Structure 1
Amino acid sequence: MIPATIATAVAPETIAKVTRLFNNTAYDVICELLQNARRAGASVVAIALNSAGSEHFLHVTDDGHGIADPASIVTLGRSGWSDETRRAEDPAGMGVFSLAGRDVIIRSFSKPDRQGWMAHIPASAWETSRPIAISSDPIARGTAITVRVPDEWLKTLERDVEKAAKHYPVPVTWNGNDLVQEDWLKDANHIEEWQGVRIGVFQKHPSHYSSRDGRLNFHGLTIPCDLPYVQEVDRGGHWIARVDIFDAPQIQLVLPARKEVVENDGIARLRDAVRVAIYRAIEAAGTHRLSAHDWREACSLGIVLPEAAAYLLSWTPNAADSSRNYESGQHITDPGMVLMPDFDALVGQPANAAIAKHNPFGGPLVEAQDAFQGYGWYDILAQVEDLRFRVTQGDRTFVVSDTQEAPAEAESGWVEAITLEATMRHAGAFIEVSTEADVAFAPDQWSCNSVDETSVFVLRGSDQTALGVVDLLESAIFYASDDSDADSYSTQLERFQADAAERIIGMLEGDDAALKNRVRDLLASHYFVVPEDRSVSIVMTRRGVEITVSPIAAPEAA
């Protein structure tokens, strides 16, 4: 028959699973015992490790108000804490069950009964309902817990105790020595209180923190939590937050282990408060490099910030090998600066060489930063929209760019004229500017930009050397393959440099010069085999190699 009523209860089979409520690491056990001591009003907690032969015992002693009812320690879900503690912290009534499966002795003072008591809970008693004897004990205050230590705890026990005590609000000793304790919000740039928590805001370099780091501190128990952060543009810092919880029942932790936060309205409102606190910290800093989006968000939250500091980083062209790309770090504040987007290295590298001789843009070139669109000082700047090269070879003139290849009849090598042309946009108008260039490149028809197929044009009569063009071509098109079967980076680079030198020198100086350079490269790493008092002459033909070794005459004495 279906019953008329039902009531909540703990099923007997749940008792048989209590050893799985916690993962039974030393750190988890110590954290739970420290939390119980704090709730009991302890002013100090003493932790010690004693050995008896091959056995080891961990002792945790506090001077709190003790445990009034021994039955509460083995009653799943019954905490025995005051109404005020239950309201503020939501204790689960499972703390002692962190010891489940361990051989434990508990001694405590019962204030209502004005006497001490002792219980020995064998390891086998946790998963049964067998009676546990309670005897009187001379303890006069607080609680003392002794647990037999498994061998796997010994490797990390001292570090676990130090970690559990570091941000705990009550002094802790280890084998009689005071442990180092530290404010969770130490070194914060800004601290404010909000509904029972302290929010600390820190300005960090991205490499100095991890998303896995603790963000919440629950009376010494540190917990990862997804909290808002604000990242400044370019080399600006990251603003992150830590939260110290002291009386915030709306922030709930997943029981029993309290290693993650419950996603509820309380944590949602905390995240809102954290974002506001971060913007207040930035306001106090006086200057910032926020994106225009974040700047507007701060304003919508009632925090009126000035615009981001009005500077940009000087432009450096991208190299084809992304590992070589970097921000210049040079701050440009000139109100006439010109925004330069990230052009492909094939056009950016030779364009930079031309601009270094003569800048046709009327102001210093800076890295374009779309995140600043919306700031008044940024939106009025001129911007380069397009780069291309106009090349004259004989009676033929054509245009090449990173996407526009040379005509089929054009030949790589010397040309009569090269002009760098650019389109600028400023105040709603488009402006064409140009300057003479010494070198231009154009992609092959497959846009593979290989050593052999990339078009190379060099202004006849310029001071550009063949090896200078090789270096420029390397920056413009070389990137190493990271396929698992590819050669090492250095091997790929050496092969590229040798192939590029042979092609460019042959193109600009002739086949004989290219051959001389190739032979020199082949022998360059073998100079050391020649003694200082000898010279080696080599005659190399298709029929073979003839080598002559001659002594070098010693210099005459003065």
Structure 2
Amino acid sequence: MIPATIATAVAPETIARVTRLFNNTAFDVVTELFQNARRAGALAVAVVIQTGGSDTLLHIADDGHGIADPASVVTLGRSGWSEETRRAEDPAGMGVFSLAGRDVIIRSYSRPDRQGWMAHIPASAWETSRPIAISSDPIASGTAITVRVPEAWLKSLEADIARAAKYYPLPVTLNGDMLPREDWLKDADHVEEWNGTRIGVFHKHPSHYSSRDGRLNFHGLTMPCDLPHVQEVDRGGHWIARVDIFDAPAIQLVLPARKEVVENDGIAGLRDAVKIAIYRAIEARGTHRLSAHDWREAAALGIPLPEAEPYLFAWTPPTADYHSSYETGERTADPAMVLMPDFEALVAQPAQAAIRAHNPFGGPLVEAQDAFRGYGWYDVLARVEDLRFRVIQGARSFIVSDAREAPAEAENGWVDAITLEATMSHAGASIEVACDADVAFAPDPWSCNSVEETSIFVRRDSGQTALGVADVFERAVFSSSDDSAADSYDTQQERFQADAAERIIGLLEGDDAALENRIRDKLSGYYFLVPEDRTVTVIVNRDRVEVTIAQRDPAAPTATDEQGAG
């Protein structure tokens, strides 16, 4: 029998805090009411936004089996759901309480009493527990709920309803128009079922997903979840999973908002199943770039995979400034390829020029990727273990490297010979190789690799120009400061280039050449001050500066002429 009145059945102090159990947003309320409709066996949900006058009303109606006992609506913790529903998803009787503190009208059909009923719950009634009158209503099935919309909801209300409907299993209309729905596992590379869930595996580029993205879908309610993923080596993608939960009682959600999972044996089992599903998806693809560790893990889980594809990327020397470092993406699968670890730019940059002229290693250099250790094809490759330069300067012979300074008596600048020396390991043996080099650098005593203190050596008969050496020096030494008080990147780089050019020109061409370069650099930004029909002559010494302006000789070549001639 339908009661004449009902009242909120919970302590008044709890009612005063009940809105804090939910985020109090339109999306949360709509989602909770959609879940109630689904549990009630509805086949469809209709949403109407009614505007007019000073109020906006939100109507949500379903065609489910209705609410048998009106008192269950306002009794916190009393769900009124069947034993089967309680077993499957623990509804907990909190759904309608997402409306606490709002002016609400509820109309529903009671199947046991074969009649409809209606309750108007004013906003104040939620906290006062005063009697709420129940009257008969002509509704013939399902439940219809009307809420007075607060101003804070208006801006995003339609978008919130569409978002709540996107992965919801029932069709939803808004003002008569069908809202779009999407399969939670759309575009999955692999799908399999496990204990009342559907696990979808996706192969993603690292930049195309976030750990904050939804991972679980509970009948349209999506949430993040820490699930296993497998990352391929090098520039490979990530294998991630999404899970569609449809009948998994062991996987429980934190009440009341159901926005995260409870850490229990159920979620632990799901994580194990996800890892297996990911490896099955990789198995179905046929090829992969997994680490040897992941490859062995797949085998331990009963999924034998082939070894990773046997290629590596061509070696490119790093620059001291990470902003300028790059990778070619050029794949190499030559069985004779040689592994090159990450050497510091100070030795890698001058070594690259020497290797280009004469590669002493017997095969193409590739970037070492030790995540592949354990694969047969990788473990048989030769590997460069050490790079260093032997410098001959007169009667002196010494070794420099990225960690080995030049002796104090060594002079920067021209030297008689430079040899790139390397130690290789292959098949358990150690091999020494060498080739001529044009340039070598050595760290300063404080390992700061500054323009002034880094040692610079250039082979006398190499044909290297001062500016060519300066280019290599910049790649080997320059690194911008990330200090917020430092100058801009461009300013730091320009200052470094000017200082490096001045020092290296002085070392290789003499002090006069360095001074000339410095003055040219200082004046180069002021060409625009000189009219096209004038020539400015500047004479500078420690005593005076003389400036002479004269008519320009029409026969004198212009900068444009010189560029064209070049």
Q: Do Structure 1 and Structure 2 share a fold, with TM-score over 0.5?
A: yes
Change (3 A) 1:184 1:31: same
Counterpart in 2 of 1:211? 211
Distance in 2 (CA, whole Å) between partners of 1:267 and 1:253 is 10
Offset from partner CA, 1:494-533 (integer Å, 9 cap, x none): 1100000000001101112112211221122222333333
Shift of 1:204: 0.8
**How many angstroms does 1:438 deviate by?**
0.1
Structure 2 CA distance for partners of 1:549 and 1:189, relative to 1, 3 Å: farther
Q: Deviation per CA, 1:283-334, whole angstroms, max 9, x where unpaired? A: 1111100000000000000000000000001111111111222222110000
Moved more, 539-548 or 76-85: 539-548
Q: Which amino acid in 2 is paired with 1:433? A: V
For the residues of structure 1 that align with 2:539 and 2:274, how far apart are their CA atoms? 78
The equivalent of 1:6 in structure 2 is none
Q: Which runs of 5+ in 2 are unaligned?
A: 1-8, 557-566
Cross-structure match for 2:271? 271
List aligned pairs for 1:194-205, cutoff 5 A. Answer: 194-205=194-205
CA distance in 1, matches of 2:429, 2:502: 46
In 1, Cα distance between equivalents of 2:208 and 2:546: 60
Q: In structure 1, what is the equivalent of residue 426 of structure 2?
A: 426
Instruction: Tell me the equivalent position of 1:4.
Output: none
State how many pairs are aligned. 547
Verify: 1:332 aligned to 2:332, yes or no.
Answer: yes
Report how far residue 65 of structure 1 moved. 1.3
Separation in 1 of the partners of 2:16 and 2:158?
31
Query: How far apart are the structure 2 equivalents of 1:216 and 1:410?
Result: 66
Deviates more, 1:358-367 or 1:40-49: 40-49
1:84-109 deviation per Cα after TM superposition (whole angstroms, max 9, x unaligned):
21111111111000000000000011
Other-structure match for 2:527? 527
Partner of 1:30: 30
Q: Which residue of 1 aligns with 2:154?
A: 154
Q: Which residue of 2 aligns with 1:86?
A: 86
| Other-structure match for 2:401 | 401
Report if aligned partners of 2:10, 2:75 keep a CA contact under 8 Å in 1. no
- 2:12–2:127 contact (8 Å) kept in structure 1: no
Alpha-carbon shift at residue 54 of structure 1 (Å): 1.8
Counterpart contact for 2:105–2:120, Cα < 8 Å: yes
Distance in 1 separating the partners of 2:494 and 2:16: 68
Indicate conservation of the 8 Å contact 2:418/2:459, yes or no: yes
Q: Which amino acid aligns with 1:280?
A: R
Farther off after superposition, 163-172 or 128-137: 128-137
Alpha-carbon distance in 2 for matches of 1:60, 1:474: 67
| Separation in 1, partners of 2:146, 2:140 | 17
Structure 1 CA distance, aligned partners of 2:550 and 2:67? 98
Hey, what's the Cα distance between the residues in 2 that align with 1:12 and 1:310? Answer: 69
Q: What are the superposed Cα offsets for residues 8-35 of structure 1, whole Å, 9 maximum, x if unpaired?
A: x965643443222212111100000000
**Does the 8 Å CA contact 1:17/1:127 hold for their aligned counterparts?**
no
The answer as to 2:489 corresponding to 1:507 is no
Partner of 1:322: 322
Asked whether the equivalents of residues 380 and 426 of structure 1 are also in contact (C-alpha less than 8 Å), the reply is: yes
Q: Does residue 1:551 correspond to 2:552, yes or no?
A: yes
Other structure's SS at 1:141 match: coil
Question: 2 CA distance for matches of 1:28 and 1:177?
Answer: 22
Match of 1:389 in 2: 389
For residues 388 and 311 of structure 2, the distance between their equivalents in structure 1, rounded to whole angstroms, comes to 28
C-alpha distance in 2 between matches for 1:463 and 1:92: 83
CA contact (8 A) 2:107 2:137 kept: yes
Contact (CA 8 Å) 1:19, 1:127: kept in 2 or not? Answer: no
SS of match in other structure, 1:457: strand
What one-letter code is carried by the residue in structure 2 that aligns with 1:537?
Answer: T
Q: Which runs of 5+ in 1 are unaligned?
A: 1-8
Q: How does 1:328-367 map to 2 (within 5 A)?
A: 328-367=328-367
Whichever residue aligns with residue 339 of structure 1, its letter is L
The residue type paired with residue 553 of structure 1 is: P
Per-residue CA deviation, residues 226-266 of structure 1 (Å, 9 max, x unaligned), is 00000000100000000000111111000110010000000
Per the TM alignment, residue 222 of structure 1 is displaced from its structure 2 partner at its CA by 0.2
SS at match of 2:135: strand
In structure 1, the partner of 2:98 is 98
Query: One-letter code of the match for 2:357?
Result: K
What amino acid sits opposite 1:88 in the alignment? A
Instruction: Answer whether contact 2:536 2:547 (CA < 8 A) is retained.
Output: no
Which one-letter code corresponds to 1:312 in the other structure? Answer: L
**Change over 3 Å in CA distance of 1:88–1:192 after alignment to 2:** same
Preserved contact between residue 18 and residue 127 of structure 1 (Cα < 8 Å)? no
Give the fraction of aligned pairs with identical amino acids, expressed as a percent: 76
Structure 1 range deviating more: 85-94 or 289-298: 85-94
Aligned to 1:369: 369
Name the structure 2 match of 1:76. Answer: 76
Alignment-mate amino acid for residue 507 of structure 1: L
**What is the DSSP-based 3-state SS (H/G/I as helix, E as strand, rest coil) of the residue aligned with 2:124?**
helix
Measured in 2, the distance between the counterparts of 1:392 and 1:545 equals: 46
Give the letter for the 1:40 counterpart: A
Q: Secondary structure at the match of 1:17?
A: helix
- What is the identity, as a one-letter code, of the residue corresponding to 1:550? Q
**Correspondence list, 1:2-21, <5 A:** 13-21=13-21
* Cα-to-partner distance string for 1:423-452 (whole Å, 9 max, x where unaligned): 000001000000000000011111111101
Partner in structure 2 of residue 456 of structure 1: 456
Deviation at 1:118, TM superposition (A): 0.3
Aligned to 1:391, the other structure's residue is in SS state strand
Q: How does 1:86-235 map to 2 (within 5 A)?
A: 86-235=86-235
Q: How many Å separate the matches in 2 of 1:130 and 1:466? A: 92
Structure 2 counterpart of 1:65, which letter? Answer: H
Offset, 1:554: 7.2
Structure 1 residue 141 displacement after superposition: 1.3
Structure 1 letter corresponding to 2:547 = E
Give the conservation status (yes or no) of the 8 Å contact 2:337–2:364. yes
Q: Which residue of structure 1 aligns with residue 490 of structure 2?
A: 490
Per-residue deviation at 1:158?
1.2
